[in-house]
Amino acid sequence: MTTTDAIGNSSLAKLASSYKTNDTEKKAEEDYLGREAFLKMLVAQLQNQDPLNPMEGSDFSAQLAQFSSLEQLINVNKSIQSMADAFTKSSETDATAYIGKEVTGNANSIEISAGAPSGGYYTLESQAEVMVSISNAEGHVVKTLYPGQQASGEYGIEWDGTDNGGNVVEDGSYTYQVLANTGSGYAALPTTITGKVDGITYQNGKAYLDIGGVLISPDAVVKVASDKSDPENSMTAIDYLGKDISYSGHLFSVQEAKVSGSDIKFELESQEDVAINILDSKGNVINSVKIAADKTATGENVINWNGTDSSGNPVADGIYSYSISSASGKAKVAESGDVTGIKYINGTQYLVAGDNSDLVSISSITGVN
């Protein structure tokens, strides 16, 4: 007795091939009785039926109808999942709502994306011996850094993205703790930061608030302050066009080794030693300029940054900022100029002001003249 090979039938072969899924779909659906399993059962039934008592047409039609219903249910499940995903995303904190507001947040995370770390900073009120402990999502310490003795000031965490064994860690979120010893033992430093949100940066698909180059998660915000009674807080970038503004420092935009707004202006009540730090977008110091008291002047001082790091090498394209400190702590950064344009960089609006085309964030405006 011979048996009928259903696969040999061209119509069934076309039916079988038309419902073959690709590898990705197959892996996603292999955990339940889906279209693949149903079709295999149907074809196996046709292969092994008794030629003398074949399946009735009505039975076959009923099974095809069941298959059609299964297909529809699978599509409905996918639609429901898409709706659930969309609802989850819409329920997350809208990071853009923080732009321009003064917030206080816990800055204790470092993001690793494509093997490159970003974020991480701390402030020392006085000279101390410093140690930094970095942990993964499970709370296990993966790296311990020993910056050593450091003077008072702000510092970025310089981590190369490897663990204590020299192995590159996986991309993701890591937390850090800074311990400082001023002579009476190590104690944890608070890593909160307060400032106006200059923009939004995305790392590993998640939005982070940019506060003066320091990135914090919207979930880490513990306080939001916004003076709505101040009419200047409601002004948009366009409202400043053509106006003469005062601002507490500006940013540098480096494009193809060209620096926009390279002059740094500050005022001194008397001649004194001055230190100027150039910071990258992560808050790391990439160049330091120390000026002796006899090279400064009472009143306005101007120096120029040529777009190089401490080794004299041109820096990468991007946004940079600066900080100024003096022996007396009374160095003032007060600049002014007409707003001549608006520039968009990485989705953030900046004003172009002054004779040197300074790049100014709206949060640094101190007044409209």
pLDDT reported for residue 139? 82
Q: Do domains 95-225 and 231-368 have the same CATH topology?
A: yes
Q: Which fold has domain 95-225?
A: Immunoglobulin-like (2.60.40)
pLDDT digits (tens, 9 = 90+) for 7-65: 444 444 444 454 444 444 444 444 445 567 667 777 777 677 666 666 555 565 566 66
SS3 of the chain: helix, strand, coil, percent, to 5 = 25, 40, 35
Q: Which CATH number fits domain 231-368: 2.30.30.60, 3.40.50.2300, 3.40.640.10, 2.60.40.4070?
A: 2.60.40.4070
pLDDT reported for residue 273? 92
The residue type of 8 is G
Q: How far is CA 238 from CA 215, 340, 350, in A?
A: 26, 10, 10
Predicted confidence band at 234 (pLDDT cuts at 50, 70, 90)?
low
Residues 247 and 369 sit within 8 Å (Cβ to Cβ): no
* Radius of gyration, alpha carbons of the chain: 31
Predicted confidence band at 2 (pLDDT cuts at 50, 70, 90)?
very low
Q: Where are the domains of the chain?
A: 6-91, 95-225, 231-368
